[in-house]
Amino acid sequence: MELLNSTDYPNYFLRRLVSWVAKQVDYPVREIRKAEFRNSTEYLRSGRAWLHQKRILVRVGPENRFPGHPLYCKGVPEWPLRRIHALIEVTAHELCHLDQERRVPYRGGKRLHRREREPNMMGRDVMIAFLEKEDELMAQWMEPPKRAAKPKKSAVEKREEAARANLANWERKLKLAKTKVRKYKQKVKYYDNRNAARSGD
């Protein structure tokens, strides 16, 4: 999964979050090609799913815009809505759209409200599941990886590395060739001297 991140959440945090949410939605995380997370100044929370590209976009506003209680979430005890809850809810919503496409491909035409009902309910259910284990999950997701991921090399860096490896390889061959040339020059010189001595006799 390609991750694009312009928020203040670490990449490893978002990867773990997406994996957990995908498991709740029952959508294979390996099928997600791209997940993008952005800060939003216009919307409190929003998202989008590109069904055929298997790509999602999640946008959330700053933490100070999240006081209060989500009125749409009936049956849930009152709790202060936070940015992380919106992140979970929107991610689950958009992954549910990808799962809908996997189960019943959308053929276009007029957008049907029934295709939004299931993602709305899924977003609520996954958020409730997160609330039950919030402290535990946040501690797991925020723990830095034991080994920092190596930065990916650019195409130019890969070509440079290949050029240096080829140069070193041919320099070794050149050194070996010089040794062989010197060795066989001595042998040829020996036979030349031997033939010259026989001719003199």
Please indicate whether residue 194 or residue 14 has the higher confidence score (pLDDT). Answer: 14
Q: Is the distance from CB of 71 to CB of 52 less than 8 angstroms?
A: no
Query: CA dist 100 to 55, 59, 129, 130, Å?
Result: 13, 21, 21, 22
| Residue 172 and residue 121 share a domain | no
Residue 148 lies in a domain: no
Domain count, the chain: 2
Phi-psi region of 183 (alpha: psi -120 to 50; beta: other; left: phi over 0): alpha
Residue 126 lies in a domain: yes
| Residue 181 and residue 86 share a domain | no
Q: What is the mean pLDDT of residues 7-18?
A: 95
Read off the pTM.
Answer: 0.65
| pLDDT tens-digit readout, 105-158 | 655 544 444 478 888 889 889 988 998 899 999 999 999 988 766 788 888 999
| pLDDT tens-digit readout, 59-116 | 998 887 776 555 445 555 556 678 898 899 999 999 999 988 777 765 554 444 447 8
Q: What is the pLDDT of residue 115?
A: 74
User: Which range marks the domain in which residue 187 is found?
Assistant: 153-201
| pLDDT tens-digit readout, 21-55 | 999 999 999 999 999 999 988 888 899 999 889 99
| Residue 186 and residue 132 share a domain | no
Q: What is the pLDDT of residue 82?
A: 84
Q: What is the pLDDT of residue 47?
A: 92
Query: CA dist 56 to 16, 97, 189, Å?
Result: 15, 9, 75
Residue 167 lies in a domain: yes
Helix axes of 83-103 and 11-25: crossing angle, nearest 10 degrees: 50
